[in-house]
Amino acid sequence: MATETIVLISMGITAVCYPFYLVFMMRRRERRNTTDEAAIIKRDGCSTVATLRKVSCFRPADINDPHARDRYSTYKTIYEYVVDGIAYRKKYYFREYDMRGKSSTPPVQLTMYYLPDNPKKVFTENQIAARSVRKIGGFTAVLFPLLFMLLLAFVGLALFGCNNATASHDAGTLENGAPASALPGAEPGAEPGAEPGPGAAVTVGTMITEDFLPMWVAEQEGIFTQEGLHVELMTFQSAQELSTALVAGEIDMAMTDPMVAAALTQGGCEVTMEWVTLGETAQQGRFGIMASPESGVRSLEDLAGKPIGVGSNTILEYVMDKLMEQAGIPAEEVLKEEIRKIPVRYEMMAGNQVSAAALPASLLYLGEQTGMVLVADDTQGANLSQSVMVVRRDFAAADAADAGAADAGASSSADQGVAAAAADASVLDRIRKSWDKAVALLDADPSAYRALLVEKASLPELAAESYPVSSYPLAKRPTNEMIDPILAWMLEKGYLDTALGYDSSTGAFTR
């Protein structure tokens, strides 16, 4: 392709894109009046704090999917603020991608700016900061498109040059006809351009929760690399998405709860529970029930016959049932309102739209800091809740077979160093060892990893500086005392079609 042709193509693409670019810039300029007005209000006006009064969700990912209700993309909110004794309400829409890195739900409070003579017209801090608009000058109108055209031409010439250079090669030879393995330092039989492998690869999924902290520590401190592993850690927004990825084979392991593990196994995706990630003792991994001060709820007895926000077939529902049972509340008086997305559940509880909510530790702590009422939690008495690391049984079987082959090869070798390395060839064993090393680091200095916990678990700002870093157990399989009551509860609730047993020696469920 001639240079002139590439330049002409670049000019054509620029000419086609230019009208759309001008329309875009003009629309940005039209918003300048609104921007100026917002800036004036912030500079000369007053401010007030608005409180979230109502939140609802819509636009599910798939309206025909019964689980879509926990994957909403947009939140419709109503905030209330008071000026000179008069209450006003303002409607806002929040999209999840606008809140990544901060929170998965709208904030409880917002600072709003207004002019004293018109308190109905308000702007938030984010609205003012986001509306920074420049006038369309010579650079944006002319020079920028010209530079864009030159960039297209440069890229086209570069690609054309690369194609010409590679066309003179055979796929496996150098320019002089020598094999690629003849390059200095190349390994015999190596493919051209091949890079050394990163180690045994495994993908581990989790929801955004503190239970997974040792894995994030192992990643940050390079422990996986020290163990010869390439571990990819993936986070998911809901238990349904995590389970779907495990069933599809997109991940090999997952941090979840025993209910999900049992349901996956009964559904045909067999997993084993390899170790308890949090909940070896009752003090590890707090779950509880919380209510707003306006609800009038102060004890579990006050909740008899009142709806409690919770997600069905979850560790939180199990803990809630057991706490109510211990308080002597009859099962028929334990009412539940299905609210699968935990942050939405918290907001509805804080806004007194539901009598109480079953919540994990981080949101219980946030509620305590903001005046909510902790009705009960599971840190006293029987150890009710655990989170577990599960692995697909087909992955575990393949890993065991690979480790056995490596052991056999090492034992026949005269090199004792090779035998020592192969003796710990199992990927699962090395991940367990990585977990234990990370737990040791956390035990030695928990505060050193507070910032990592805040970042990865998306803890609220109010909890960032003082939230207690939990102690974590070493990698040991859950006991029958932990799992058997959960399986009995699932069968009673109808979450299991047939009874499942549990073998604590292998971590597997039995039929």
Over residues 417-446, the pLDDT tens digits come to 433 443 456 899 999 999 999 999 999 999
Looking up residue 368, the CATH number of its domain turns out to be 3.40.190.10
Kindly state whether residue 181 falls inside one of the protein's structural domains.
Answer: no
pLDDT, tens digit (0-9, with 9 covering 90-100), for 83-103: 877 888 888 776 654 333 444
Cα 243 from Cα 38, distance rounded (Å): 45
What DSSP designation does 179 have? B
In a domain, 217, yes or no: yes
Give the mean model confidence (pLDDT) for residues 37-50. 68
Tell me: pLDDT of 457 over 90.
Answer: no
Q: Which two tokens stand for residue 351?
A: 């806004």
Query: Quick check: is 179 in a domain?
Result: no
Burial zone of 87 (CB within 10 Å; 0-12 exposed, 13-18 middle, 19+ buried):
exposed
Decide if 148 contacts 16 (C-beta within 8 A). no
Higher per-residue pLDDT: 179 or 82:
82
- Taking each helix axis from N to C end, the angle separating 427-444 and 393-411, rounded to the nearest 10 degrees, works out to 100
pLDDT at position 373 is 96
In the three-class reduction of DSSP (H, G, I as helix; E, B as strand; rest coil), residue 381 is classed as coil
What are the tens digits of pLDDT across the range 354-369? 999 999 998 999 899 8
Residue 321 lies in a domain: yes
What is the dihedral angle through the alpha carbons of 476, 482, 487, 489, rounded to the nearest 10 degrees? -150
In this structure, the dihedral spanned by the alpha carbons of residues 421, 426, 432 and 438, taken in order and rounded to 10 degrees, is 40
Among 15-19, 391-395, 456-460, top mean pLDDT goes to 391-395
How does pLDDT run across 316-350, given as a tens digit for each residue? Answer: 999 999 999 999 999 999 999 999 888 899 999 99
* Same domain as 406, residue 268: yes
Run of H or E residues at 121: strand 118-124
How many other C-beta atoms lie within 10 A of the C-beta of residue 324?
21
- Residues in contact with 206: Cβ distance below 8 Å, sequence separation at least 6, in sequence order: 212, 215, 233, 234, 235, 236, 242, 254, 255
Question: What pLDDT sits at residue 65?
Answer: 44
Residues 341 and 220 in one domain: no
Residue-level pLDDT at 126: 66
Paired residues of 89 in beta bridges: 80
DSSP string, 296-356: ---SGGGGTTSEEEE-TTSHHHHHHHHHHHHTT--GGG-EEEE--SHHHHHHHHHTTSSSE
Q: Residue 173: inside a domain, yes or no? A: no
pLDDT at 174: 32
Residue 215 shares a structural domain with residue 318:
no
The alpha carbon of 367 is separated from its chain's Cα centroid by a whole number of angstroms, namely 21
340 shares a domain with 485? no
Parent domain of 360:
287-377
Residue type, 98: D
How many angstroms from the chain centroid is the CA of residue 85? Answer: 41
- Which residues, 6 or more positions from 199, have their beta carbon under 8 angstroms from its beta carbon? 225, 228, 229, 230
d(CA 410, CA 65): 51
Q: What's residue 67's pLDDT?
A: 44
Please give the C-alpha separations between residue 427 and each of 71, 242, 404, 484, in angstroms, as whole numbers.
33, 21, 12, 28
Least confident piece of the model among 43-47, 240-244, 489-493: 43-47
Domain count, the chain: 4
In the prediction, which pLDDT does 330 show?
94
Q: Among 346, 377, 408, which residue terminates a domain? A: 377
Same-domain check for residues 22 and 50 = no
Is the pTM for the entire model greater than 0.85? no
Higher-confidence position of 365 and 189: 365
Beta strand 200-207 with 118-124 is: unpaired
Q: How far apart are alpha carbons 503 and 306 in whole angstroms?
A: 38
Least confident of 77-86, 278-287, 452-461: 77-86
Paired tokens of 9 = 């193509």
Of 352, 377, 402, which residue constitutes the final position of a domain? 377
Q: Confidence band (pLDDT; 50, 70, 90) for 52? A: confident
Nearest partner of 258 among 104, 418, 78, 489, judged by Cα:
489
Residue ending a domain, choose from 377, 403, 423: 377
Q: SS3 for 143?
A: helix
Q: In whole angstroms, give the CA distance from residue 33 to residue 164.
A: 53
What is the gyration radius of the CA atoms in the chain, in angstroms? Answer: 29
State the Cα angle at 205 between 204 and 206, rounded to 5°.
130
Instruction: State whether 396 and 506 are in the same domain.
Output: yes
Q: Is residue 491 part of a domain?
A: yes
126 and 70 fall within a common domain = yes
Q: How far apart are the C-alpha atoms of 116 and 430, rounded to whole Å?
A: 64
Q: Are residues 23 and 154 in the same domain?
A: yes
> Does 396 share its domain with 501?
yes
Spatial distance between the Cα atoms of 277 and 472, rounded to a whole number of angstroms? 7
186 located within any domain: no
Using CA atoms, how far apart are residues 43 and 114, in angstroms rounded to an integer?
A: 10
Q: Determine, yes or no, domain membership for 93.
A: yes
Confidence at 227, pLDDT banded by 50, 70, 90: very high
Residues 401 and 490 in one domain: yes
Q: Are residues 471 and 439 in the same domain?
A: yes
Average pLDDT for the chain = 77
Same-domain check for residues 503 and 358: no
Interior angle at CA 201, CA 199 and CA 203, nearest 5: 150
Q: Which of 50, 58, 44, 60 is nearest to 115 (CA)?
A: 44
